[in-house]
Amino acid sequence: MISSAPAKVILFGEHAVVYGKPAIAVAINLRTRVYIERNPKSSFTVNGWPMDDAHHAYIKKAIEEVWGEEPLKITTESEVPSASGMGSSASITVAMVSALLAMKGKDSEEKIARKSFDVEWSTQGRASPIDTSTVTHGQGILVSFKKERNFLWKIERGGTEWYIHHVEIPPLRLVVGFSGVKGPTPKMVEKVRRFYTWNSFARDVIEEIGKITMAALEPLENEDYPKIGELMDRNNKLLTILGVSHPKLKKMIDAARKHSYGAKITGAGGGGCMLALTDEQDEVARAIREAGGIPFKVSISKQGYRIESHL
Ligand code: PMV
């Protein structure tokens, strides 16, 4: 069985989504691919090594959740840099879960999204299903806390209900800039939580981010790039106020702006990645490199998970 899944970036609403506000994420054309065969007379192996709790946490959990005891030989291949905020763990998880469910003849988009969230939840205690649903479905996803247009499925956990919706995304040309600094997601979520708990100004900022996310739906539908860019800039200002920027991210964002409709931190911040929307990907990639970052010229992946071959 060969299956693959894309990476993702958050366009609008990171952090605010933790407090019941909507967020929009898109799948991008960097993929993780897994090759799986039954390994009858041996044990579980990953890329030629015995499967290991620490190094193969997501793979192991995916096997526990949807497969069982029958030994497998697994080979992985990924274009997604790890710990960058581009959803590398969701990408490997969805590739594994979709392959294993397909081997059992039971794959459906909703089932893959649910099982993949279970794997992320039990492996890293992740706060929201935004990554796994985006990577499963492809295109764009709106996560919100009530039913909107183009509803796909609802995921519940620990008293929270997330409503997942399809969002039609125009052919965005994006450049992701990786700071090279690992994005410490739990630390940044905790930092914002403290600010949110003690400061009503922080709560207003979160509220405003939620409004920006909803305001982005129409320009996305109408391919209004200047408006999308303007909203990205506003979202970035608010994320900076929340304290999740990083000197390297700021430098890359400032450098990218000259050739972009808009640019912002994407994901948890404090390192990780920034994101620019542009017609001039080469110029933006050069500016990001000169600012010390690692650029990835990416576009939207219409396809989420894909079963590539079933022998
Ligand atoms: O850094 P990423 O892409 O894993 O995104 C984190 C997004 C947060 O809103 C900060 C947390 C979450 O789980 O939604």
Domain of 233: which CATH number?
A: 3.30.70.890
Catalytic residues: 131
Residue numbers of the domain that contains 222: 173-299
At 92-128, the pLDDT tens digits run 999 999 999 999 988 899 999 999 999 999 988 766 8
> 265-277: buried (b, 16+ CB within 10 Å) or exposed (e) per residue?
bbbbbbbbbbbbb
At 158-174, the pLDDT tens digits run 888 999 999 999 999 99
Non-local CB neighbours of 207 within 8 Å, separated by 6+ positions: 21
The residue contributing the CA closest to ligand 1 atom 5 is: 267
Q: Model's pTM, two decimal places?
A: 0.95
Ligand 1 pocket (Cβ < 6 Å) reads 10, 14-15, 17-18, 85, 126-128, 130, 183, 185, 189, 267-268, 272
158 in the same domain as 10: yes
CATH number of 123's domain: 3.30.230.10
Rounded to whole angstroms, the Cα distance separating 248 from 256 reads 12
Residue from 10, 92, 187 to probe ligand 1 pocket by mutation (most atoms less than 8 Å from CB): 10
142 in the same domain as 24: yes
At 194-206, the pLDDT tens digits run 999 999 999 999 9
Of 16-25, 174-183, 283-292, 301-310, highest mean pLDDT: 283-292
Total number of domains constituting the chain: 2
Rounded to whole angstroms, the Cα distance separating 167 from 169 reads 6
